Amino acid sequence: MENSEFEAGLGEKFDFIYSFDVFVHLDLPTIWKYLNSIYKILNKGGRAFIHTSSITTPNGWTRFCSKADSEQLYYTTSPEAIKWLIEKAQMTVIKESMPDGNNFYLERDYLVVIQK
């Protein structure tokens, strides 16, 4: 993805933004750009829900080790890296997922709610 900027005129127009099953396909530099863009369009106190990959979950590690990911259609990261980018983008983690063997996504990925 080359353009991580949203349309001009959207500054501080949203109370809530979500991205599910998109950021798992983005590398860290692109995620960083999107987090900064999200910051710009969220109202003060606005929140966003972000879904990324995680190398630190049981199924995230398995996926990382699989040959299928060598094509880079799925970029593995970690909660620590995502939280670092969130902090540097001037936002705060409100709630984050923990691995849960009863939920496919929680056992493989990282889901987080952030606030401006």
Question: For 91-114, what is each residue's pLDDT tens digit?
Answer: 999 999 999 999 999 999 999 999
Contact (CB, 8 A) for 83 and 30: no
In sign, the C-alpha dihedral spanning 1, 114, 84, 54 is negative
- The shares of helix, strand and coil residues in the chain, as percent rounded to the nearest 5, are 40, 25, 35
Per-residue pLDDT reduced to its tens digit, 12-63: 889 999 999 999 999 999 999 999 999 999 999 999 999 999 999 999 999 8
Residue 1 has pLDDT above 50, yes or no: no
Contact (CB, 8 A) for 15 and 43: yes
At 97, list the tokens: 């997922």
